[in-house]
Amino acid sequence: MRLENKEKFITKSLESCKYLGSEVIYYDRTDSTMEDARKLIEQQAADGSVIIAEQQTAGKGRYNRKWYSPLGGIYLSLILFREIEMQKQGLLSLTAGVASCETIKKYLPEAEIKWPNDVLFKEKKISGILIEKLGNYYSIGTGINTNTEKFEGEFLLQPTSIYLETEKEIDNNNFIINFLKKFDENYDLLANHEYNAILEKWKSMSLTIGRKVKLRNPMIKGEREIDIINIDNNGFLIAETEKGIEKIISGEIFY
Ligand code: BTN
C-alpha cells in the first residue's frame, strides 16, 4: 500500500534538491524496491525518482544474496538517468557510499566505509548498496539498519543497527531526507566531473587503504590476502599481491 502523506512530506522536503524527488513512491511493504525500480524504468521512469519501503519481503543484496528487511530499517532505490563513461561508473558506487556514511556519521561518528560502499561501525555492517544498470538508467538500492532491533538468519558480515549501537530510536523519515539530500549534494560533484572531491571524501572515511585484507570474488571460489595501497581515479583499488601491483575492480574484502 502507498502511504500518500509520507510521499507528500518527503517530496516537499526534497524541493531544494537538484536531482532527486521528481517522483516519490512510499510503500508500507513491497517485495523489493529494486524490482519496483526496474518496473518503473521499463515505463520510462522520471530521472530522480525515489522508491521507499518500510519493509521488504524479498530484499536483494549483492551477489544474489538476500537483504534482511524487517520493519525498523530503511529500504530505498533511487532512479537516475545519465550517461556515465564506462570507467567512471565505479565512482557512482563510491558516491552512494559517501552519502550513506556521511548521513550515518551524524548518529555514529565512527562509521566508516568498506570498499566500495558498505558502511560499517566497529567492523559490523550498518548499510549496503546495490546498483543495477538498465541502459542509461541506474537504480541505486540502499538498505540502512536504523532501528532494527534484532537480526535473524546467517550473515556473511555481522550486521548491527544505529539503534543497537546507540540505544536510541531514530526518526526514519528524517534520516531518509538527510540521506537523499547528501546523495544529491555528492551526485552533483559526479555530474560536474569533480571526481577528486568524491575520492578525497571517500578516502577520509575509508577503512580499506593501508590494510592487509582478504579478497573474495563470489563468482570464483577462493580467497587471497592482499595489501591495499590506494584507490585510483576511477575508484578501483590498487593492491600489492603475490603477482605484484594489481588493480582490483571487483570482489569483496574482509578483514
Ligand atoms: C549489499 O549486499 O550490501 C547490498 C544491499 C542492498 C539492499 C537494498 S534495500 C533497498 C534495495 N532493495 C533491495 O531489494 N535491495 C536494495
Domain 212-254, classified CATH 3.40.50, yes or no: no
* Nearest ligand 1 atom to alpha carbon 73: 9
Could you give the CA distance from residue 78 to residue 99 in angstroms, rounded to a whole number?
Answer: 13
* Phi and psi, residue 134, nearest 5°: -130, 100
Angle, helices 172-191 vs 89-105, to 10°: value is 140
The residue whose grid cell reads 572531491 is: 197
CA of residue 240 to ligand 1 center, whole Å: 31
Q: Rounded to 10 degrees, what is the CA torsion of 56, 58, 63, 65?
A: 100
β-strand pairing of 137-144 with 124-134: antiparallel
Ligand 1 contact, 56 CB (< 6 A): yes
Give residue 207's pLDDT.
82
Ligand 1 contact, 65 CB (< 6 A): yes
Q: Which three cell numbers stand for residue 102?
A: 556521511
| All CATH 3.30.930.10 domain ranges in the chain, comma separated | 4-205
Give residue 211's pLDDT.
93
Ligand 1 contact, 143 CB (< 6 A): yes
Q: Is the dihedral of CA 101, 59, 155, 160 positive or negative?
A: positive
Instruction: Produce one character per residue of 205-244: b if its CB has 16 or more CB atoms within 10 Å, e if not.
Output: bbbbeeeebebbeeeeeeeeebebeebeebbbbebeeeee
Could you give the CA distance from residue 38 to residue 77 in angstroms, rounded to a whole number?
Answer: 10
β-strand pairing of 112-114 with 118-121: antiparallel
4-27 per-position pLDDT tens digit: 999 999 999 999 999 999 999 999
Give residue 217's pLDDT.
85
Query: For the domain 4-205, what is the CATH superfamily, name and number?
Result: Bira Bifunctional Protein; Domain 2 (3.30.930.10)
Ligand 1 contact, 137 CB (< 6 A): no
41, 130, 161: residue to mutate for ligand 1 pocket, most atoms within 8 A of CB: 130
Give residue 12's pLDDT.
98
29, 30, 34: residue to mutate for ligand 1 pocket, most atoms within 8 A of CB: 34
* Phi and psi, residue 62, nearest 5°: -70, 160
Ligand 1 contact, 33 CB (< 6 A): yes
Proportion of the chain above pLDDT 90, given as a percent: 95
Ligand 1 contact, 32 CB (< 6 A): yes
Identify the CA nearest to 21 among candidates 47, 41, 39, 3: 47
| All CATH 2.30.30 domain ranges in the chain, comma separated | 212-254
pTM score:
0.96
Ligand 1 contact, 66 CB (< 6 A): no
CA of residue 60 to ligand 1 center, whole Å: 5
The residue whose grid cell reads 583499488 is: 237
* Phi and psi, residue 38, nearest 5°: -60, -45
CA of residue 61 to ligand 1 center, whole Å: 5
Q: Which three cell numbers stand for residue 114?
A: 568498506
Give residue 204's pLDDT.
96
Give residue 221's pLDDT.
76
pLDDT, tens digit only, all 255 positions of the chain: 999 999 999 999 999 999 999 999 999 999 999 999 999 999 999 999 999 999 999 999 999 999 999 999 999 999 999 999 999 999 999 999 999 999 999 999 999 999 999 999 999 999 999 999 999 999 999 999 999 999 999 999 999 999 999 999 999 999 999 999 999 999 999 999 999 999 999 999 998 899 999 999 877 778 899 999 999 999 999 999 988 999 999 999 998
